[in-house]
Chains A and B, each alone.
Chain A
Amino acid sequence: MTLPIFSFIFAMWVLIIIGGGLMVVFVGPLTFSGDNDLNPIINSGAKVLIAMILIFIWVFSLLKIKNWIFRKITNS
């Protein structure tokens, strides 16, 4: 019975590692040039925006997995 929940936890863990990898490999090195004084703010702001999009994708994926698990439980 708890097997689907163990799978859900495992899926979350994999998504955390993949999401972390995307943050480090792609988002971390990004630089956005603008006025020198504003550079750190522009950079951080852009990274925040990308991080938010990643979190949205993460939550969306989890919702899909959750629905799949529910279907599996109700069908079994």
Chain B
Amino acid sequence: MTLHTRSVAELAAGLAAKEFSAVELTQHYLARIEAANPALNAFVTITPERALADARKADAARAAGRAGPLTGVPLAHKDIFCTDGIRTSCGSRMLDNFIAPYDATVVERLQAAGTVLLGKTNMDEFAMGSSNETSYYGAVKNPWNLRKVPGGSSGGSAAAVAARLAPVATGTDTGGSIRQPAALVGITGIKPTYGRVSRYGMVAFASSLDQAGILAPSAEDCALLLGAMAGFDPRDSTSVDRPVPDYAAELRLPLKGVRLGLLKEFLERGLEAATGALVQAAIARLQSLGATLVDVSCPSLPLSVPAYYVVAPAECSSNLSRFDGIRFGHRCKEPRDLLDLYRRSRGEGFGAEVKRRIMTGTYVLSAGYYDAYYLKAQKVRSLISAEFKQAFTQADVLVGPTAPTPAFDIGAKVDDPITMYLNDIYTIGANLAGLPAMSVPCGFVDGLPVGLQLIGPHFAESRILAAAHAYQCATDFHRRLPASGT
């Protein structure tokens, strides 16, 4: 069996059985990255020396009998997570020269679990995008078809895992940035409940929506990694102090009797027919495995995209004000005065979409407009959240599509922000309400993967992971690989 076609759980078992060493496994992935990354552009920084040092440490820990379940498993971090001593660019010219002086909590915890850092993955600039075309380092290609986007903003992580250049990768999800790329490249992705995973050291985009998660070959792998990442962190003021369940053990929660809720609004809005048919077939499969199905409705859900495009830009304009050209990041040449320094450093350092969102946010927060836009959007957010809560009295897990279509052509939507924003029509609701949600591969349209989305109530990660796992035990869509992944 080839090493890289295995899931994280299978690799971990191989390491535990001493079938291969962490160093051998790491060398295998580094060779794959070297061979395939020029075509995919999934990594912006590759860290071979660090990876081999981590791997040697992992092998030594195993020899000393101190290995945990993830010891020696290689992974990649989205370049939004600060990594001490390693450039953390966030896909932006602004941070092209930024060497993070500390580790994000996610990085620290996964390192403590014995994982091996292969490198940092490409992303939409400051996580603002749904196609990975806004990166300062260029577009990432979809491994299933190099003319297509991999989705975004965690597009580099998604492409790296889909092409098996890394067994697993971290991502962040503010409006769908883990689930939508996972769907578009045919892998499994989870965005946990808001507050479940620490945001410390994760470059902030929209603080009330941002959440870190995992992109992996399977739900079982997501459970393994999430267990190592999640938990209370006093350094993040919104981190929730609540015990972390044993997600891997709870994968065995039975699907029998689980009430699936089919969201009416998800089937009405711009859903491509072939994608919808695959999602319906996946839901029927879950029913055949013992789940029941009820129709549910969140009537305000169609307003989630407009609410998001007020709240997210508002928070982004505030968060990104820290990039001033003074303490770190890009500074323009020969500033005339302080104002010129700010304006040109930011004008040069940020790309077009980031500037668009900063300006949208600046406008909706400005005097005289705050109530009409920001306050109104936060009220609609309350409505949507209450409707989800109501839906969860009738259903345990909400199901629907992750994205309205399979991957689209690179360049097809870059000139029309609204069309691009509507890619996230099914994913944004979970962010607005802080709910955990996943995308699971459920078939192909013209050779391109399609994702099924599962949304759970707050802190019900185990429930959606178990449903996804039951589905993956009965199907093999998540095991299919693009030609570049075999």
Q: Do A and B come from one complex?
A: no
Q: Which B residues are within 8 Å of any A CB, using their own CB?
A: none
